[in-house]
Structure 1
Amino acid sequence: MFPEYRDLISQLKTSDRHFLNVFDKHNDLDQKIKNLEAHIEHATHHEIEALKKEKLALKDELYGLLRKASATA
């Protein structure tokens, strides 16, 4: 995710608590969605779609935080 910001992501994960929380939540949702789609866990199609939308919103937030941090660096 966002290879052009790889170094900045590493930096923000150690220096920005909010960024780390959003990043971890995104990764947790990603794993949960993978488990649901692999039928390791059970959920309806609508539940999975809702999780995907939440994950996308977190990704958008991460991108905004990265752009802001990049602009001020």
Structure 2
Amino acid sequence: MSHTPHELAEEFPDKVELIAQLRESNAHFAKLCAEYHEVNRAVHRAEARIEPVSDEAEEEMRRQRMRLKDEIYGMLTAAA
């Protein structure tokens, strides 16, 4: 399988350990990470034309990924 860009470890390389800790200790954070992972993979499949979707649907998935990333970042900075 090809590399999927925008994985959380790639987006926040200095916070990999904190991400792992919060996934274990915070159910809401773990749920956000799982949702981010799912949406990110869907965006990648759409961009790679593995599972083509409409331009509007692809843009909405990107916005959803950005909202999730922002919320995850907020929780990471609050926990640091």
Question: What's the TM-score, normalizing by structure 1?
Answer: 0.90
- The count of aligned residue pairs is 70
Instruction: Measure how far apart 1:39 and its partner are.
Output: 1.5
Question: What's the TM-score, normalizing by structure 2?
Answer: 0.83
1:20-71 C-alpha deviation (Å, 9 max, x unpaired): 000110011010011111111121111100100000000000000001111x
More helix per residue: 1
Does residue 44 of structure 2 align to residue 34 of structure 1? yes
Gaps of 5+ in 1: none
* Misfit runs of 4+, over 4 Å: none
Identity of aligned residues (%): 31
Structure 2 CA distance for aligned equivalents of residues 37 and 63 of structure 1: 24
Instruction: Measure how far apart 1:3 and its partner are.
Output: 1.0
Q: CA RMSD in A?
A: 0.8
Pick 1 or 2: higher relative contact order, CA cutoff 8 A, min separation 6. Answer: 1
Structure 1 CA distance for aligned equivalents of residues 15 and 41 of structure 2: 22
Match 2:23 to one of 9, 13, 34: 13
Matches within 5 A, 1:1-73: 1-70=11-80
